[in-house]
Amino acid sequence: MDGAVVAFACTAAMLVLLVAGIPVGLSLGLTGFAGLAAIGGLPLALVQLQSLPYSLANDYAFAVVPTFVFMGNLAMNSGMAKELYVAADRWFGHFRGGLYLSTIAGSTAFGAASGSTLVNATVFTKVALPEMLRLGYSKKTASACIASVGTLDAMIPPSVAMVVYGILTEQSIGKLMIAGIVPGILAALSYGVLIMVMVRLRPELAPRRMDPASWRERWSALRGTWSILLLFAMVMGGIYLGLFSPTASGAVGAFSALVILALRRRLNAQIVHASLIGAAVTTAMLFIIMIGGLMFSRMLVLSGALTGIVDWVSSLGLSQLMLITALCAMYIVLGCLTDAISMLIVTLPFVFPIVSKAGIDPIWFGILCVQLLEIGAITPPVGLNLYATVSASNGTVSMDEIIEGIAPFVALNLFILALLVVFPQLALWLPSQMKS
């Protein structure tokens, strides 16, 4: 059977399975296996099914995934996120829309210890949303703000999405993580400006609070934030200075989190057990998606469709800007239909060779991909951060309400994407200063 026909049929079947509600990893794996069997015979497909899971789990580079997730779960389960939110509230809560600003500041800081956008959205929905609603904040804007700012976890290192991109494209994970620092800070500041403009134009979105905390309360609240700051400094400082590899940094971060909790007398069996279970579940889910995605990608490679796509796009003679614009448009559409990691695994095998052939910097393109994943996480109908926020609200917020409030934040993320496209040095300056 012609390889291109098999690739097209398997892609269509995979989309049908996704629409039918079959889990992403299973949809990719089944269609990839069927395609390999059709192209090279059942023995070839069985060999791939046997070797792929082992080779993936045996890859030392992937050890960073469970360790980073474990570190994030320790930070979440030990109450570090709540400390960050309380500290931010002491400093910003007396402004109009102050709880929005507090959520942005706390969520951004929490991103330095958690690489999961879903965890961030879930935690701050439980911490910040009840207080916002109690004080009369707009339910639609409050929930949309929490879901949107939660996506910064993908950009602010450590980031699981960057790890996946780096491994799939064989790029430096350390440089990718360092490259995300400036765009992450830029995004956080942009969120703050957007909120201040919104509450000024529409005062009904947030009440004015006239009870500023004393300076003593403000400085006192900062005492509980040193844990996150120390974790971030140890992990990213070690990578930036070349003290240890990005893979080892996950272990350094997880061990440091355990030591910090022990010093603060918060380390107990319940927190460790819950964090280990959470890390195992998340890692298993990611690995299943990656195994299925790699199976599907190998089918595309063996079918010859991948080479044909790369050659066809190259023959169009597109400039770098035109190519980036077209790829961004593709990812924005795909982000509305599937989750972030699946989108990376399925598309990078044919997108990255096109990008490389066009001479586009792979680190810069990685940051653009992460920004596009952030947009996909808040665009319906499959914006996972929207679902995470609605679920964590325990019925307080409906999907219709959060979708009604999400438009300004999607527009802001598109603006940030445009800035990253026009000014690549926003992402590339810090990596260029790294010690090799």
pLDDT per position as a tens digit, 82-134: 888 888 888 887 788 888 999 999 888 888 777 678 788 888 898 889 988 88
Q: For residue 389, what are the CA distances in angstroms to 74, 99, 117, 396? A: 20, 17, 11, 10
| Total tally of structural domains belonging to the chain | 1
251 in any annotated domain:
yes
Total Cβ atoms within 10 A of residue 53: 17
51 in any annotated domain:
no
**Domain containing residue 211:** 63-282+305-432
Helix axis angle for 80-92 and 98-110, nearest 10°, is: 140
Q: Above 70 in pLDDT, residue 1?
A: no
Query: Average per-residue pLDDT in the chain?
Result: 86
Using CA atoms, how far apart are residues 320 and 176, in angstroms rounded to an integer?
20
Confidence of residue 243 (pLDDT cuts 50, 70, 90): confident
Using CA atoms, how far apart are residues 205 and 35, in angstroms rounded to an integer?
52
Please name which of 295, 376, 106 lies closest in space to residue 114, comparing C-alpha atoms.
106
288 in any annotated domain:
no
Q: Three-state DSSP class for 148?
A: helix
Using CA atoms, how far apart are residues 27 and 16, in angstroms rounded to an integer?
9
Which residue carries 């507090």 as its tokens? 102
49 in any annotated domain:
no
294 in any annotated domain:
no
Radius of gyration for the chain, computed over Cα atoms and rounded to the nearest angstrom: 22
- Which of 213-217, 382-386, 387-391, 431-435 tops mean pLDDT? 387-391
Using CA atoms, how far apart are residues 38 and 6, in angstroms rounded to an integer?
7
pLDDT of 273 reads 92
pLDDT of 435 reads 63
Using CA atoms, how far apart are residues 246 and 177, in angstroms rounded to an integer?
9
- Residue 434, Cβ density class (10 Å: 0-12 exposed, 13-18 middle, ≥19 buried): middle
212 in any annotated domain:
yes
297 in any annotated domain:
no
36 in any annotated domain:
no
pTM of the model as a whole: 0.84
Q: By mean pLDDT, which of 65-79, 130-144, 174-188, 204-218 is the weakest?
A: 204-218
Question: Which of the 8 DSSP states describes residue 393?
Answer: T
